[in-house]
Amino acid sequence: MLTVGMIGYGSIGRDVADYIASGLAGNVELKAILVRNKGNIVSDLPSDWFEDDPDRFFNLGTDIVIEAAGHEAVRLYAERSLRSGSHFLTVSVGAFADQELYERVMQTAAETGRQLIVPSAAVGGLDRIAAGAVGPIEQVTLTSRKPPRAWYGTIVEQQVNLEQVTEPVCVFEGPAKESARLFPESVNVSAALSLAGIGFERTTVKVFVDPTITRNTHEISASGKFGEIHLQIRNTPSANPKTGYIVAMSIVKVLKNLSTPLMIGL
């Protein structure tokens, strides 16, 4: 049985925990969920699943730690997870636009014999991009479009009147390194794509506020020795409009790959 610890209990964490509890994640046991204050948690899950002491959490010796709490959680806990003997699965991949952090985490993974795991999450085609990166890949472009309600609480509010916008507005065009810094909660997909392919500096990203759509939409274009790929993904937003249900589903797919006899799409 695969033992799992999880960091964060927001919309993604809740969905992952529910999938595990219902048996949809394979032969998996959720040992604990690390939160800031377990006394504030309202949940139908057993209360002893929640932990607010990092020392106790990392002493559980789980096989894998899932991060679903944001970039700061990656900075705080990626290396600690690996050193505790757990693989570290992260959805907040944009944190690794910080090259120093990425190199440090990768060095720790190498020293401990553990892995940093990046699920497909909100984007598709990472398996093909990663295979194509064997080489060479000539170009990778990501165009992300989200409806106005997905941009509240971000710097986009300073650029666009989200209540009155009536047509698509491009709020960013440039390298993935910069997009991951500017939109940490909304463009983690660009970071995942960069790690799979040709890096943060060479991956081009375009970001739109688009009032004509209701689903978070990502379009990927890449070409190289492998051929070409043109892919469009339209994700249904979850309770948090900045993310989609597919993110938790993608984490569950990784857990199934690790805990059942059949592995698909790795």
Instruction: Give catalytic residues, as residue numbers.
Output: 218
Q: Amino acid letter at 77?
A: Y
Distance CA 123, CA 19 (A): 20
Exposure b/e, 225-235, CB count within 10 A at least 16 = b: ebeebeeebeb
Phi, psi of 87 (to 5 degrees): -65, 155
Render 220-252 in DSSP notation, one character per residue.
Answer: EEEEETTEEEEEEEEEPB-SSTTSBHHHHHHHH
Q: Could you tell me the two tokens for 94?
A: 């944009």
